[in-house]
Amino acid sequence: MKRFYSLFQPYFSAHIVAVQAVLAGFKVLSFFFLFLISPSVFAFNLHGNSFKGELMFPSQETNQALCIDQGDISGVIVNQQSGKPISGVPVVLSSVGENDVPKLITVTGADGRYFFEGLNFGKYLIQVQDANLNVVRGLFASETSEVQVNLEECAVDVSDFVYGSNNPLFLSGRVWYDANGNGVQDEWFDANDDGRVTLNDLSNGAVEINKWEWFDLNGDGRYDGPENYGELNIAGFGNTQSSNIKVKSAEGPSYEAMIDLTGYWSKTFDHNTAFGNYSASLEMDSFLNEAAKNVGETGLIKTLPNLRIEDFNNIRMDIQCGLTTSDLLERELSRSVGHHSDILFGVRCREELVEIIANDDEIGEHFSSTLEPLGNILDNDVIKGNPVDPEKVEVEFTELDGLIGLNINEKGELILLIPGINPPGTYQLEYVLRENGFPDTFDKATVTVTLLADNVDLAIEKTSNDVEIFEGDEFEYTITVTNLGGTNASNVEIIDFFNSGLTYINTTFIATDESVKLDTTVEGNKIVYTVPELPAGVILTLTVLVQADAISGQNPLTISNQATVSSAEEDLDMSNNTAADFNVVNPFFIPNVITPNGDNKNDAFEIRGISKFTANNILIYNRYGDHVYERANYDNNWDAPNQVAGTYYYIFQGEDAGGKTHEFKGWVQVIKD
């Protein structure tokens, strides 16, 4: 990283301006320089890897509002990837034209919504202050971060903004009023002039921007540190009339950027072509000079107190010692040089700030019976700016919110020791993170976890599809199992009971979730199907192929079949866990009329129940005694080809499973159009 300085004589000594820039993508670089009229230049290098992203455009809605002489402006800021609202985002409202309304600022709530109420009708500019979104959260506007609306009588333009993690390469920074002239951004705008950094209360709505001191966007109770970038009013100022930031690439292209009302500026680049060295400079003009003069003359710019060291329990000072010389020195002993007395190692000790930060965790939804870890609460905690080593910290839960059997393992993962004992609900836990050996160095954080009920609602249906069955016929049952509940069902068991008169052949299945597995066990007249897991909302369809056994006599046989379903979880509705099907097996039947006219109705001489015989043969002859058809193992396909209408005679012989031959003689009338 290179710095270029230009020396100059201050043009207006009472107003010292400083610029801070941030390079984002993978690394953040900050730089500061002082100047007024003579441009100061800072050079640095952009680098990183490739990124992927999708483009989404913000929606525009027009809502009708009940109003008299004032109206409201509102909207939602949404995450492009997750579709969820984004909380903790400052939004500024400025009047446009003759509508003399003070500039207002507010912050989106948990629902991602911003709201300005009681406004005079007229034109307004809505601007998302996205410094924190860009630098801390890595989110960028999918299309725009500002929009102009016209608030008319009884009408509200509801303007939403979409931000996504498209990871561009970008340069950003801030312009602030450097009241003490030290080139370090250590000022804030003390709006109420009480000498303390005041957290703004937005419970009564938006505040005038000149009343803003500090918005705690992430709820950590701090305004300092990189994680709180954009929360504090740093006495920044900007210019909406012209572009004062000039960015130049070493490869030649030049760019411009405008500074917003809070002093933040940014410039994004095409990451496929933008790697290289850049310089950034600030060019003062009359607009920016007037803005600097106005903020300086308030007399409310103060230097930040060193609260981070003096008042926080999560800070301690440590003495760190290290070498000031190389840790490896080489010398050579020889005949001419037999000794060395210059193998010297220098050591120096210095004070070092040790800070421990515990960040709040939301570890999602889990079933109350889960045996898996709920989440790791140490993943986002840091000590000395580095990820926490679980072996070097202690965790003490000070609030369990009624949660029973919670344990934390050596990795920092939360585990339920007694699955299923805790009722469903959302639990808000609190813990203290301490550095081993330094109990007075600690920080506090919360953990939010939601436990879901393990109850399921399985439903089963079974049908033979109203098929007409004759003895010996093969036919199919369809069994449908659906998980109607919102919880995955485990160890699902489907039992299908067959009564006498049927022989099981095989089963095939299909599920709306390809991960579903099925095992089949045949136990006499009972078929047991087991499914390790049936996810919520998934439908499992089984096709069961069976054969009707031969019946004794000429009376039809009524067959009833029942199937049940169950799982390891408690079922919310047992009334749909059993299904039955009823059908009739008809006796062997030989028709005496066929109409082979191609309408697929009674076209062939079909002997119903022919499958009851293991082997058969048939002989068909006309009224003159001429043989017109003869076939072994007849398969019900004779349709009197090349024969005239009339009466034909048959001799059918069938051999049963016991080897006995049965003979049937008769006639069949062939009717042709």
Per residue, the 3-state secondary structure of 560-601, as one string, reads: EEEEEEECCCCECCHHHCEEEEEEEEECCECCCEECCCCCCC
Q: Is residue 403 very low, low, confident or very high in pLDDT (cuts 50, 70, 90)?
A: very high
Does residue 15 belong to any structural domain of this protein? Answer: no
Q: What is the DSSP string of 527-564?
A: EEEEEEEE-TT-EEEEEEEEEEPP-SSSS-EEEEEEEE
pLDDT for residue 433: 94
pLDDT-wise least confident of 37-46, 126-135, 395-404, 598-607:
37-46
pLDDT at 83 over 80: yes
Q: What is the DSSP string of 347-388?
A: EEEEEEEEEEEPPPEEEEEEETT--S--EESSTT-EETTEE-
Task: With residue 289 as reference, give the H or E element that holds it.
Answer: helix 286-296
pLDDT digit string, tens, across residues 95-132 = 887 666 789 999 999 999 999 988 888 888 999 999 89
Taking the C-alpha atoms of residue 191 and residue 210, their distance in angstroms, rounded to an integer, is: 7
pLDDT for residue 10: 31
One domain for residues 470 and 572: yes
Which two tokens mark 110?
A: 């948990």
Q: How far is CA 349 from the centre of its chain?
A: 47
Does residue 642 belong to any structural domain of this protein? Answer: yes
β-strands 661-670, 593-594 pairing: parallel
One domain for residues 531 and 629: no
Task: With residue 26 as reference, give the H or E element that holds it.
Answer: none
Domain range for 531 is 458-586
Which residue carries 């970038």 as its tokens? Answer: 229
- CATH number of the domain to which 567 belongs: 2.60.40.1530
Are 669 and 653 in contact by the 8 Å Cβ rule? The answer is: no
pLDDT for residue 527: 95
Taking the C-alpha atoms of residue 466 and residue 430, their distance in angstroms, rounded to an integer, is: 61
How many other β-carbons are positioned within 10 Å of the β-carbon of residue 176?
28
One domain for residues 477 and 439: no
Residue range 306-326: mean pLDDT, rounded: 55
How many other β-carbons are positioned within 10 Å of the β-carbon of residue 621?
15
- CATH number of the domain to which 619 belongs: 2.60.40
- One-letter amino acid for residue 307 of the chain: L
Residue range 252-273: mean pLDDT, rounded: 80
Does residue 93 belong to any structural domain of this protein? Answer: yes
Are 595 and 601 in contact by the 8 Å Cβ rule? The answer is: yes
pLDDT for residue 16: 34
One domain for residues 547 and 619: no
pLDDT for residue 215: 94
Q: Which of 452, 476, 502 is the last residue of a domain?
A: 452
Residue range 323-334: mean pLDDT, rounded: 65
One domain for residues 633 and 663: yes
One domain for residues 120 and 231: yes
Domains held by the chain: number = 4
Going by C-beta distance under 8 Å and a sequence separation of 6 or more, which residues neighbour residue 360?
219, 220, 445, 446, 447, 448
pLDDT at 401 over 80: yes
pLDDT at 413 over 90: yes
Residue range 578-590: mean pLDDT, rounded: 90
pLDDT for residue 35: 31
Residue with more model confidence, 649 or 4: 649
Q: What is the mean pLDDT of the chain?
A: 81
One domain for residues 609 and 639: yes
pLDDT for residue 537: 92
Going by C-beta distance under 8 Å and a sequence separation of 6 or more, which residues neighbour residue 71?
65, 119, 121, 151, 152, 153, 154, 155, 156
Does residue 285 belong to any structural domain of this protein? Answer: no
Q: Is residue 324 very low, low, confident or very high in pLDDT (cuts 50, 70, 90)?
A: low
pLDDT for residue 312: 47
What is the percentage of the chain residues whose pLDDT exceeds 90?
41
pLDDT for residue 421: 87
Which two tokens mark 197?
A: 């950094």
One domain for residues 602 and 580: no
pLDDT at 210 over 90: yes
pLDDT for residue 20: 38
Are 149 and 72 in contact by the 8 Å Cβ rule? The answer is: no
CA atoms within 13 A on the CB side of 441: 20
What is the percentage of the chain residues whose pLDDT exceeds 70?
81
Taking the C-alpha atoms of residue 285 and residue 246, their distance in angstroms, rounded to an integer, is: 13
Task: With residue 294 as reference, give the H or E element that holds it.
Answer: helix 286-296
pLDDT for residue 99: 64
Q: Is residue 68 very low, low, confident or very high in pLDDT (cuts 50, 70, 90)?
A: low
Does residue 432 belong to any structural domain of this protein? Answer: yes
One domain for residues 363 and 489: no
Does residue 533 belong to any structural domain of this protein? Answer: yes
C-alpha distance from residue 282 to each of 257, 259, 326 (Å):
10, 10, 42
Taking the C-alpha atoms of residue 280 and residue 298, their distance in angstroms, rounded to an integer, is: 29
pLDDT for residue 440: 82
pLDDT for residue 376: 95
Q: Which of 530, 551, 586 is the last residue of a domain?
A: 586
pLDDT at 576 over 90: yes
Q: Which of 418, 452, 486 is the last residue of a domain?
A: 452
Does residue 423 belong to any structural domain of this protein? Answer: yes
pLDDT digit string, tens, across residues 589-598 = 889 999 999 8
pLDDT digit string, tens, across residues 598-651 = 898 899 999 888 888 889 999 999 999 999 999 999 999 999 999 999 999 999
One domain for residues 517 and 663: no
Does residue 437 belong to any structural domain of this protein? Answer: yes
One domain for residues 601 and 566: no
pLDDT for residue 378: 95
Going by C-beta distance under 8 Å and a sequence separation of 6 or more, which residues neighbour residue 165?
53, 80, 81, 138, 139, 140
- CATH number of the domain to which 382 belongs: 2.60.40.10
Backbone angles phi, psi at 470, to 5 degrees: -120, 155
C-alpha distance from residue 182 to each of 7, 179, 323, 613 (Å):
15, 8, 31, 105
One domain for residues 76 and 123: yes
pLDDT for residue 347: 61
